[in-house]
Amino acid sequence: MRTQDVKYIEMKRVAEAKKIERLKSELHLLDFQGKQQNKHVFFFDTKKEVEQFDIATHLRTAPELVDRVFNRPTIETLQKEKVKGVTHQTQLKRIAKERQKQYNCLTQRIEREKELFIIAQKIQTRKDLLDKTQKVKVKKETVSSPAIYKFQSQRKH
């Protein structure tokens, strides 16, 4: 019975992991905390150049767009082309709210996947304890990890 339980939980965990990957690909993880921040390093010869440095003029973009690390248009592009997409404030708020809802769903799924992994480990540990070999408890069970046992090694005849 425990084997079926472990396999069922593992199946649910894999399904959850696939849903997480799908959500990540949809959201592109533009501002997700788990993603590593990109770094752009500028080199200068003197401290005076460092003090006078303005990132917006160096990147030739509007100051309000400096924080964007993706799709950062130049000033020339902004002057030539018309703004595409939603510009109405209520629609922007609705889109931001929807995006936040998607990110919350993603974090919940990630937490659920972690919990399923821990549950599967605990059930597997209990199943392993049914063996008749000698075992010594190394670490107690916690909420976030199963108990750890050290089993006596036996050679198979």
pLDDT bin (cut points 50, 70, 90) of residue 13 is: very high
Which run of H or of E encompasses 48?
helix 47-52
Identify which has the larger pLDDT, 78 or 90: 90
How many of the other CB atoms lie within 10 Å of CB of 61? 19
pLDDT in tens, 45-83: 999 998 998 888 888 888 888 777 667 788 888 788 776
At 136 the three-state DSSP class reads strand
Contact 102, 86 (CB under 8 A): no
pLDDT in tens, 97-145: 988 999 999 999 999 999 999 999 999 888 888 888 888 888 888 888 8
Residue with tokens 């629609």: 91
pLDDT on residue 83: 64
Contact 75, 61 (CB under 8 A): yes
pLDDT in tens, 16-46: 999 999 998 888 655 544 555 667 788 989 9
pLDDT on residue 72: 79
Residue 152: closest CA among 127, 126, 133, 124: 133
pTM value is 0.59
